[in-house]
């Protein structure tokens, strides 16, 4: 049987989503400073693994909210919720 340690899971979950949040916030800052930006596909890949951080940053900083492909972020969030619920009740 598969056992998921909740402390390790929560720690990794918070770290990954925090890193993704920071990445989106840093990209927004770089946009304002006219600096080199993080490629959109890279941000989307990170959003796949940390959709809560990506979604929070998008809402707080109003970043990438008009880009069509970033409509995938709420989809990633919903998918991750389904996986988490499945793992909790496995």
Distances (CA, A) of 20 to 5, 13, 49, 52, 90: 23, 11, 8, 8, 27
Answer yes or no: are the C-beta atoms of 20 and 47 closer than 8 Å: yes
- State how far Cα 32 lies from the chain centre: 21
pLDDT of residue 90: 72
Q: How far, in Å, CA of 14 to CA of 52, rounded?
A: 9
What is the per-residue pLDDT across 62-78, written as a single tens digit (0 to 9) for each?
A: 999 899 999 999 999 99
3-class secondary structure, 36: coil
When pLDDT is averaged across residues 15-42 and rounded to a whole number, the result is 96
With 0.75 as the threshold, say if the pTM is over it.
yes
Res 89: pLDDT: 80
């Amino acid at each position: 049987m598969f056992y998921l340690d909740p402390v390790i899971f929560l720690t990794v979950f918070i770290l990954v989503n925090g890193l993704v949040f920071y990445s989106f916030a840093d990209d927004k800052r770089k946009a304002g400073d006219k600096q080199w930006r993080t490629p959109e596909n890279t941000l989307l890949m990170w959003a796949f693994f940390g959709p809560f951080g990506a979604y929070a940053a998008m809402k707080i900083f109003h970043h990438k909210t008009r880009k069509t492909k970033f409509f995938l972020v709420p989809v990633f969030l919903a998918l991750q919720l389904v996986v988490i619920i499945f793992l909790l009740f496995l």
